[in-house]
Amino acid sequence: MTAGRRLTRALAWGAVAGQVLVTAAWLIAEAVQTGGYSVARDDISDLGALTAEHPWVLLIGQGVSGVLTMAFAFLALRPALAAPGHHGPVSAWLVALSAAGLDDLSDAFFRLDCRAADPGCTEAVATSSWHGAIHGIVASVTFAVLVIAPFALARRMRLVPAWRSLAWPTLGFGVLLSVAVAVFVALSITAGGGYAQRAVALLGSFGVIALALRVLAIPPAPAAPSRPNVFEDVPGTPV
């Protein structure tokens, strides 16, 4: 196995581990919250707010997962989706810049000012600081990118033989993810909004893991045949 193949496999397994880690992190973080925090109503981001209990549980998981997912998208997924005669795969960049990548990394540094469960905490109050405002902006952009990414991936997969069988399933996944995001937006900050966001988060993690497993399943490219020595067995050739 070449060094490049070992790196690709490490990045793919890292992405899988990152998604498992961040999911475990928000499950544990929500289990230790008190003060009226509701899984049914409140966002995952509230678990890392300045007023959250044990925010490091979520923040470490998000930071590590964000780095691992973005590294996988840039250094393993992008080369794996390369198609001769076509430009580089924008879809790999979308995976890196989605809620499953960039948003997790960003949330580890740009925290909300309070939880929705805290007295007097509204969305405006939670995003009133510069870091809270960045948190809100990045979340909005990366969730939009998350919705777009499966459709761009499906289009790219049709061009690459090793990915072609995943093109239609990825398109269907994109429709399902779009519906889940729409439901989350409609129910935001209401009963059921927390569940809807968690469904989106799980779908995003599933998508990254599916991509990583396909990268792992792609056989390595055959080694290029060695070029013969042009001077070998040529009579009269000085040695």
**What's the Cα-to-Cα distance from 151 to each of 176, 178, 201, rounded to whole Å?**
11, 10, 18
Q: What is the mean pLDDT of each run of 10 residues along the chain (239 residues)?
A: 88 97 96 91 94 95 97 96 88 96 96 94 94 96 96 96 95 96 85 91 97 92 57 51
Supply 182's token pair: 């729409």
pLDDT at 139: 95
Alpha-carbon distance of 94 to 82, in angstroms, equals: 15
pLDDT at 239: 46
User: Residue 77: CB partners within 8 Å, gap ≥ 6?
Assistant: 89, 92, 95, 211, 212, 215
pLDDT at 26: 96
